[in-house]
Chain A
């Protein structure tokens, strides 16, 4: 049984009941966010809620750890894709990618 999630606006079918991290990795998404300083891609790492590397924006809420969340039909997930595909550094991510500055902004304070 499949549900559909929306990853950066694209509809992706995923098995029901799995973790969001598994859903993204299973559908080939490995860049979950970009580092606030370097803009380099980051993906899930510890898988148990400790490292905070897999934080994403889910249904408008920033800072959701994908390894602890389960997929839900209609879930909207925003990763931080590169702003310029020709620029491997991702460019000025703080200004260009909403939510990229995960340390300074977009926290659920």
Chain B
């Protein structure tokens, strides 16, 4: 365990880039990922049988994964990091067979990525309502069309490449409902001229949609989805209000960083300015308030794949420099400049596509907000309206956020509904708890090598072992 210099959690673009730079610089690196293949979401690999039929997808990802393996990185796939031991540094891991492991290194790099945010509306739990990410994976990784007549809705530039990927596998895309009004000339459009590569990418998607006569309806959002036992109809509100027949609705309102491990490790966080959800405080190289812990990629704040790769590289170069390896200062400066430039682009994107939180004020009381525990908006509003009830008290009373997804799907909505119902509610996020994902109960056993030292203190922000989701 202790003979490793760097332990990287998450094998997506950021983690892979960090692993490659660190290993090439001579450090002993382990890369842990819960999935059976490296790549994360952006560089998700096609199965060899699909590659044989359709060729590779995003070959840059294949090259990166190959380079990481060739650089001698110890790749622990199928290993889920689910918590932090009492020493506040050792990571607790469930192996592929459910066996308990403990991992520790001199430096820990968290590259835990993000998950898609969907703001609830009536009917969002119907089969046929999916995230845009699910539709993209089916179209690109599996080459399976998610439906016949598909509507995309939500907000963010991400909806456009998803629409294009669906067109490529023969889906009839009936429209893209964008809750904001980003595609117009204005202050932000002028600012975006400084990022010609990103603009070209965006223009390419829009051109494809125009060629296929796919309308993009701005200032338009989903009011409800309905159907007997799966989706049939979507009701839109806003500028292009009306009903749309569709068998699949793909929704996404941006992404939420996965910050549980950073919080459990006691890294300082700040509330992000738009939604108020915790984001780790990190500098340009990803250094957190803990000198031995770095946060990179989407886990450090949503900024896209190019930023993720640059941040991973910046963290690795910083660790190399701190461990006495020669790192040309010019190289470091170049990477830092790239990280900063891409962060400015991310801020621009964020300003153009804010999550339309105001829509939550309008969802009816019988809207199912917590999908796992089936808790309605009305229950959350009524509970949060009681004196002193903040987010976690509301969670405790209603069970909203206590199901298998551990609040990842409903978290933003429960927080916003609580704040709206009770202006005196303390500003807080769901407590970070172990296990950060449901794990087999066998994984909770203490690894033999780690049995000692269990009585040492834990850092601020640490949870208690054994959250409510254990299996």
A interface residues (Cβ-Cβ under 8 A, vs B): 1, 15-19, 21-23, 25-26, 30-32, 35, 37-38, 40-53, 63, 67-68, 70, 88, 103, 107-109
Query: Which of A17, A38, A44 is B48 in contact with, Cβ under 8 Å?
Result: A17
Contact of A47 with B128 in the complex, beta carbons under 8 Å: no
Q: Which of B328-336, B404-412, B425-433 contacts A (4 or more CB under 8 A)?
A: B404-412
Contact of A45 with B134 in the complex, beta carbons under 8 Å: yes
Query: Which of B35, B131, B230 is A68 in contact with, Cβ under 8 Å?
Result: B35
Q: How far is the CB of A42 from chain B (nearest CB, A)?
A: 6
Contact of A30 with B230 in the complex, beta carbons under 8 Å: yes
Mostly helix, strand, loop or mixed at chain A's interface? loop
Contact of A47 with B137 in the complex, beta carbons under 8 Å: yes
Contact of B130 with A22 in the complex, beta carbons under 8 Å: no
Q: Give complex CA distance A17, B265 in Å.
A: 38
Cβ of B69 < 8 Å from any Cβ of A? no
Query: Which of A18, A21, A38, A43 is B50 in contact with, Cβ under 8 Å?
Result: A18
Given A37-B374, A46-B116, A68-B35, does the pair A26, B145 have CB atoms closer than 8 Å? yes
Q: Bits for B102-144, please: 1 = Cβ < 8 Å to A, else 0.
A: 0000000000000110000000011111110111111001111
Query: Which of A26, A40, A45, A63 is B144 in contact with, Cβ under 8 Å?
Result: A26
Q: How far is the CB of B114 from chain A (nearest CB, A)?
A: 10
Cβ of B41 < 8 Å from any Cβ of A? yes
Query: Which of A43, A70, A88 is B228 in contact with, Cβ under 8 Å?
Result: A88
Q: Which residues of B have CB within 8 Å of A68?
A: 35-36
Contact sample, A vs B, 27 pairs, CB 8 Å cutoff: A1-B53, A15-B142, A16-B47, A17-B46, A17-B48, A18-B47, A18-B50, A18-B142, A25-B146, A25-B147, A37-B374, A40-B125, A42-B125, A43-B128, A45-B129, A45-B131, A47-B133, A47-B134, A47-B136, A48-B116, A50-B405, A51-B404, A51-B408, A63-B471, A67-B134, A108-B471, A109-B441
Contact of B440 with A48 in the complex, beta carbons under 8 Å: no
Knowing that A15-B143, A42-B127 are A-B contacts, what are 13 other residue pairs whose CB atoms are under 8 Å apart, sorted by A's residue number? A15-B142, A17-B52, A18-B47, A19-B138, A21-B134, A21-B138, A46-B115, A47-B133, A47-B135, A47-B138, A51-B405, A52-B403, A107-B471
Q: Which residues of B have CB within 8 Å of A15?
A: 49-50, 53, 142-144
Contact of A19 with B371 in the complex, beta carbons under 8 Å: no
Residue of B nearest to A26 (CB): B144
Q: Bits for B353-384, please: 1 = Cβ < 8 Å to A, else 0.
A: 00000000000000000011010000000000
Cβ of B277 < 8 Å from any Cβ of A? no
Query: Which of A32, A48, A53, A67 is B371 in contact with, Cβ under 8 Å?
Result: A53
Contact of B228 with A25 in the complex, beta carbons under 8 Å: no
Cβ of B438 < 8 Å from any Cβ of A? yes
Q: Which residues of B have CB within 8 Å of A53?
A: 371
Q: Which residues of B have CB within 8 Å of A18?
A: 47, 50, 142-144
Contact of A46 with B471 in the complex, beta carbons under 8 Å: no
Nearest 9 Cβ contacts at the A-B interface: A47-B134, A17-B49, A43-B127, A17-B47, A22-B142, A52-B404, A30-B127, A18-B142, A16-B49
Q: Which residues of A have CB within 8 Å of B374?
A: 35, 37-38
Q: Give complex CA distance A72, B145 in Å.
A: 20
Query: Which of B145, B229, B408 is A50 in contact with, Cβ under 8 Å?
Result: B408
Q: How far is the CB of B154 from chain A (nearest CB, A)?
A: 14
Mostly helix, strand, loop or mixed at chain B's interface? loop
B interface residues (Cβ-Cβ under 8 A, vs A): 34-36, 41, 46-50, 52-53, 115-116, 125-131, 133-138, 141-147, 228-230, 371-372, 374, 403-405, 408-409, 438, 440-441, 470-471
Q: Give complex CA distance A84, B115 in Å.
A: 36
Q: Give complex CA distance A70, B129 in Å.
A: 22
Q: Give complex CA distance A2, B451 in Å.
A: 49
Q: Which residues of A have CB within 8 Å of B48?
A: 17
Q: Which residues of B have CB within 8 Å of A50?
A: 115, 405, 408-409
Q: Which residues of A have CB within 8 Å of B230?
A: 30-31, 41, 43
Given A26-B144, A41-B229, does the pair A47, B130 have CB atoms closer than 8 Å? yes
Q: Give complex CA distance A23, B144 in Å.
A: 8
Contact of A1 with B49 in the complex, beta carbons under 8 Å: yes
Q: Give complex CA distance A23, B129 in Å.
A: 17
Q: How far is the CB of A69 from chain B (nearest CB, A)?
A: 10
Contact of A45 with B229 in the complex, beta carbons under 8 Å: no
Q: Which residues of B have CB within 8 Å of A42?
A: 125, 127, 371
Query: Which of A21, A32, A67, A88 is B229 in contact with, Cβ under 8 Å?
Result: A88
